[in-house]
Copies of this chain bind each other. A is one copy, B any other.
Amino acid sequence: MIRAAICGGSGYTGAELLRILLLHPGVEITAVTSEQSAGKKVTDLFPHLHRYSSLRYEPLNKEALLDKADVFFMALPHSASQEAVDFFYRRGKRVVDLSADYRLSDASVYEEWYKTPHHYKETLGDAVYGLPELHRERIVKAGLVANPGCYPTSAILGLAPVLREGIIDPSTLVIDSKSGTSGAGRKADVSVSYCEVNEGFKAYGLAVHRHTPEIEQELSAVAGSRVVLNFTPHLVPMDRGILSTMYGTLRKDMDTAAVLALYRETYATEPFVNVLEENTYPNAKNVRGSNYCEIGIKVNKRTNTLIVVSAIDNLVKGASGQAVQNMNIMMGFGETAALESLALFP
């Protein structure tokens, strides 16, 4: 049995790691940390995790944690993660970081968008961006995996196939994304209170959302040239799920069937990407609670535009599920271990 610790376990991604890993045949949880809830039982915060009845939060004491686990899932806030990740990584532990701290390979881009310095550039250089569909080979050997953001996972999986082949013009990209409310985290804030979110729908972070450079980094690498794009997130009155609707001008004369064939080929062996039939489109509800990504395609001949729609569960494929998938790859487990559940529908 592999021993796993979760640093930062009082939020939704931490709780989701516990939920998923309960069903993992090769992993046991040996520690979960929270500064604010130290001493409390996990079930005090999350009654649904009652199978962990004896597990208590402890403070993040790095030295004390070091010998408790083989793998560290880091679910700390951005910038708070930097040091702890570096600490465990340098001591030879396998680390999956769910924060943004090690996702942007260029530290200056990180510093520009996150308004905070990066103090561990050497470790940053070793981090692998943990999107298995793009970087599986490197994840196998990685000591530190930077688990992708939720919006970037939906966007990159949706656009990589056509950008790689030069099928759409990268200077025309619009990514219009919609997320359930759990993406905002578990917090005491009027803006995420039920009465403010329910029966509402809004855009936020126009032109300034921090997931923009992450999407651009990965799509630039795929496209082979620098990609700058429009990314607009929206808040949907639902718990979980991201649906991204993406637009790009076609450079080649392809119809929907031809583009779909490319997607099907690209993802033929991927266990968690479902390319839908023509005239069928994703629904966030179809992937809720699962690690799957649904992708649908439409070529708009009138405007010469490719429209790609992708859907994931932001807490699973967009966070904790993908983190487990990365750990499975790193540790030599079957890639789908603990991740085979279908969506909870309805």
**Residues of A that sit less than 8 Å from B by CB:** 12, 15, 19, 22-23, 46-51, 172, 174, 176, 178, 180-182, 186-190, 192-204, 206-207, 228-230, 232, 234, 236-241, 243, 245, 247, 274, 276, 280-290, 292, 294, 296, 298-303, 305, 307, 309, 311, 340-346
In the complex, the answer to whether B239 meets A195 with C-beta atoms within 8 Å is: yes
Nearest CB on B from A307, distance (A): 6
- Say yes or no: A48-B194 contact (C-beta < 8 A), given A202-B284, A203-B245: no
Q: A345-B15, A346-B198 are in contact. Are A207 and B283 (CB under 8 A)?
A: no
- Say whether A346 contacts B290, CB under 8 Å: no
Cα distance, A201 to B346, chains bound together (Å): 13
18 A-B contacts (beta carbon < 8 Å) = A50-B342, A51-B340, A176-B176, A181-B194, A192-B193, A194-B197, A195-B239, A195-B346, A200-B283, A201-B284, A201-B311, A202-B284, A202-B311, A203-B281, A206-B307, A207-B299, A207-B302, A240-B346
Contact B194 A192 (CB under 8 A): yes
**A340-B23 contact in complex given A201-B241, A230-B303, A236-B237, C-beta closer than 8 Å:** yes
B196 touches A346 (CB 8 A): yes
Asked whether A200 lies within 8 Å of B284 as measured between CB atoms, the reply is yes
Task: Report the Cα distance A292→B303, complex, angstroms.
Answer: 31
CA A309 – CA B188 in complex, angstroms?
27
Chain B residues whose C-beta falls within 8 Å of the C-beta of A174 in the assembled complex:
174, 176, 247, 305
- Evaluate contact between A181 and B201: CB separation under 8 angstroms: no
By beta carbon, the residue of chain B nearest A236 is: B201
**6 interchain residue pairs of minimum CB distance:** A200-B285, A195-B346, A48-B343, A207-B300, A202-B283, A206-B298
**Residues of B contacting A344 with CB < 8 Å?**
19, 288-289, 344
Question: A46 contacts which chain B residues (CB < 8 A)?
Answer: 345
Q: Which residues of B have CB within 8 Å of A286?
A: 47-48, 200
